[in-house]
Structure 1
Amino acid sequence: MTTLFERHQLGDLILPNRIVMAPMTRVRATPDGRATPSMAAYYAQRATAGLIVSEGVHPNRVGQSNPGTPGLATDEQADSWRAVTDAVHVNGGRIFAQLMHGGRVSHPDTTGLQPVGPSAVPATGEVFTPNGPRPVPVPRALATAEVPEQARSYGEAARRGVAAGFDGVELHGANGYLISQFLSSTANRRTDAYGGSIARRIRFAVEAVEATVDAIGAGRTGIRLSPGASFWGAEETDVPGLYAALLAELSRFDLAYVHLEATTDPDTLLGLRTAWDGTLIVNPTVPMGSRRTDRAAADHWLGLGADLVSFGRPFISNPDLVERVRAGLPIVEDDEATWYQGGDGGYLDYPTYRYAAAAPALAAASAAR
């Protein structure tokens, strides 16, 4: 059976293990969307992952979902990422940028613009803004002629990202953001070429992937999907049929990978494994749920045919997670209160195991003096 610590060929990259650091929003960027030295240190600390996928990065201004998130919408934002990618590579790692267009999950207080979406249907819930949580507003429905421009924004951001040193990009097609909104039968009520039937609802996702492949190549392009998840009220009908059709279309691009969240039943996920014959990353836990991915869940999915397994929150509090999993060492719990608070607390100050183990002995020695 495949193990977590075998190598894997991903495009032109050789991954030393099959543990992927999943994308996680940490809102530590500057107000104008530039990456910071602290972000470089954060990702460098976790460079032993077979692959790092960055936090969500907005591809254009209207695509920014939350304040404090970084972008690849401008050359200045792209230039700021060079310190991050250099730090990861110097430490022996590999990093993809996750391109995340929030679509209707945004707010004018954050971007200065009315959010856009497939239809004028608001998401459910509240969104973070510089002025605190606010109800998600009604988005402006994109005109048919505008939709290709939003699809191309992924390719334009990908080109900037690769120029800044990223090894590739992952399109965020999951969790109720723009690509997911087009896939949805509740967020997408269009009657033109981008809505209605399954073939039309998958069109935006395919065009965004195609634009990205044209910009940087298929071997540098992945996509993340959350079948049946219903985040932000973006519900889907005929989940097996929808995603089988999408994967069939994506199969002609020879992508680096598809990254599936375990947001639907196991039989559907196994059917999608059969439908996709390329590299498959599985995240075994539902985002924002109570469970954390562990070695048992990772081994289970490798046994079911996943090529790589992504770990999310365990990477927040265990920068040396790969070694902890390899050696069966304790996994430190993360402090949820620090996820989005900004600053280096709960970001750069989680120790590796050797320091955690040595701390009591050092304290005792100090007290004995």
Structure 2
Amino acid sequence: MIAVHGYAGMETGVAFDRARILGERLGDAGALLATLSGQWAFHFVRGEHDMMRQLAGEARRTSQQMSDEALQLAGYRLAGLNAIYFGRFVEARSVFETILRIYDVSRHRPQPVHYIHDPKFYALAYLPVIYWVLGYPEQAKSWQAKAFEYATELNQATLTTHVKIYGGAGLEELLFDASAVRAYADAIIELADLHNLRYFRLSGLILRGWTMAQAGAGQEGLALMRRSCTERLAMGVSWYQSRYLCMLAATSLQQRRPDEGLAALAEARNLGTRTDEHMWEAEIRRIEGELRRMQGAPLAEVEGHFQEALAIARDQNAKSFELRAAISLARLWCDDGSHTEAGRVLLASIYNWFTEGLDTPDLREAKRLLDNL
């Protein structure tokens, strides 16, 4: 059902609702684990945050009532993914690492038919991006390797594709490694075609479009990204849509098409208002500032966007987003010539916080800018 209609397909939601009723009648913990997880995934991918919170709470209460460790781990999984969605990255890391401490393969790994609900898999799949956001790019790469090792062990096409999208390409795009993203995109599309995973195929196409633009085919890459984002939203999918719209906006900035970039960000903001997602909020504000600057907006307006991005990143303890916002603001002040010293102090403060990943593109750019201030 998920393979054909996607997590957000109405048919998928109806199937999980029916299965939940049967599981409750039987009082079967395994069935409840699968159906609660499935119901939550349906609402998660659709961005229906009230139901996400409600089902995560139900999973926690049910696990306590039944004294079932597997259900407890399922509750942790839902809580961790909720935390990412709402931009609570430190909490997400803590919850996922709790799963990894508790999880015992012999006691907690579900039957193969239910691997898609394996809490250890999801903890490993999302820790790479979480660690990057929190400012640990080298540890993010280490978690990426662990995620792929475990996905290989489970050996299911849906899970392999999932981890390639989020733990693989999701991290490499943030690191600006276009060649790695292209390899993942091609593998995702190949797996999706082989196993009829249309939902995942659209992610692969967006990633492929991004790499095309980085390689010089800007017009074609943007068109593929835009078309695939539209098709994805038509399926009812909102999960990671804001990131893809940020990528579309940033690519429009590279191609000097600010109007198109701002249109993508307007869509991302509207989506965030509807779903209450905050994962990419700092990036949305920062990229909007860069696009407004390209349009020639007043200095105060552009600065306001960068300051908002900085404040959001700090509130979320999102050090990598804070670094990007500080780079944008320091560059603005440097080019204006009025707050050069303030820009240097701001950028040096966050740059000096980092203890790893000094050869990553963001940190190299920060060092280059500091050397010129």
TM-score (norm 1): 0.30
Of structures 1 and 2, the larger Rg is shown by 2
Q: Please state which structure has a larger fraction of its residues in helix.
A: 2
Considering Cα pairs closer than 8 Å and 6+ residues apart, tell me whether 1 or 2 has the greater RCO: 1
TM-score (norm 2): 0.30
